[in-house]
Amino acid sequence: MTTAPPASPLVEEDLRKALTMRTRPRRPSALSAALTFGWRAMLKIRHVPDQLFDVTIFPIMMTLIFTYLFGGALAGSTDAYLQVFLPGILVQSIVMITMYTGVGMNEDIAKGVFDRFRTLPIWRPAAIVGALFGDVVRYTLGATITIVLGLILGFRPSGGVVGVVLGVLLLLVFAFSLSWVWTMFGLILQTSKSVMGWSMMVLMPLTFGSNIYVSPDTMPSWLEAVVNVNPVTHLVTAVRGLMHGNVGFAQVGWVLVACVALVAVFGPIVMRLYSKKR
């Protein structure tokens, strides 16, 4: 029979103080709770650095493969293609990795961590909003790597630093909004593999059926019509315009409207599923 090691005097003293307090500790604010869960997401990456594969290696692979494999055939030279392609592959890389928000939520549910969060005296949506905040850091890292690689390869944004920063910020807002969809999948589906499968089934036509790789003008009329209403197409056009200094404010407006619509529709659904999850 083994006995537990005695608690250190310092730990025992802290426990006594906590148990003898007559006043209840102040409830954390909504922002404080959300930021704490965001920091938790960062700590998970610190302890499991493999999670950074999708925001580091994936963007590099996609940029190199498509630039040098298709650049000459589609634009006459890799340099000319890179000027148009890099903002597009930046959008695809970040949009594709948004699905891991739902995967992480589903894994927390499977491990029972989800039930523990529900018992804490905190703002109920803090666990979800905090996870989304943590993912924004991952998106920022992925965007930075893609842009730095593009600059090394010869990408020269006419909009300068300001245009690049604004383009990335717009992309991050869209990615944050889209993550609510995959969070819903994470709460509904039974396994993380199912979440990934359903997310890919939605993301593949959204990203490949857009203007990331080629201009919609080269497509059949029926396909061009579909591509032109794709929200990812509007996002790519807006990010390209911001980075090259020829942005159309109507395109930026459409992207922001899409962001508001995504949060307005899927945010309440996620909150309802979260509160009723057993």
Query: For 141, what's the count of Cα atoms within 13 Å in the CB-facing half-sphere?
Result: 16
More confident residue, 19 or 141: 141
Taking the CA atoms of 146, 151, 156 and 158 in sequence, report the sign of the dihedral they define.
Answer: positive
In-domain check, residue 21: no
Of all residues in the chain, what percent carry a pLDDT higher than 70? Answer: 89
List alpha helices for the chain, DSSP H. Answer: 9-20, 30-47, 53-75, 78-97, 100-111, 113-119, 126-153, 160-188, 192-208, 221-228, 231-244, 249-276
Average pLDDT over residues 221-244: 92
Dist. CA 20–CA 156, nearest whole Å? 64
Is 174 within the bounds of a domain? Answer: yes
The reply to whether 109 falls in a domain is: yes
Quote the CA–CA distance of 249 and 160 in Å, as a whole number: 18
Chain centroid to CA 249: 24
Alpha carbon 83 to its chain centroid, in Å, reads 24
Q: Are residues 141 and 171 in contact, defined by beta-carbon separation less than 8 angstroms?
A: no
pLDDT tier at 19, thresholds 50, 70, 90: low
The overall pTM is greater than 0.95: no
If we measure between CA atoms, which residue out of 116, 115, 122, 114 comes closest to residue 25? 122
Report which of residues 114 and 204 the model is more confident about. 204
Pick from 79, 211, 233: nearest CA to 151: 79
Q: How many domains does the chain have?
A: 1
Task: Tell me what the pLDDT averaged over the chain comes to.
Answer: 84
Q: What pLDDT is recorded for position 130?
A: 84
Tokens of 111: 């491990």
Nearest Cα residue to 136 out of 164, 174, 103, 190: 174
Quick one: CA torsion of 67, 72, 73, 75, rounded to 10 degrees? 90
Domain that holds residue 48: 29-276
Does residue 40 belong to any structural domain of this protein? yes
User: Is-contact 188 103, C-beta < 8 A?
Assistant: no
- Assigned domain for 10 exists: no
Q: Is residue 2 part of a domain?
A: no
17 within domain boundaries: no
CB 92 within 8 A of CB 212: yes
pLDDT of residue 277: 66
Any domain includes 149 = yes
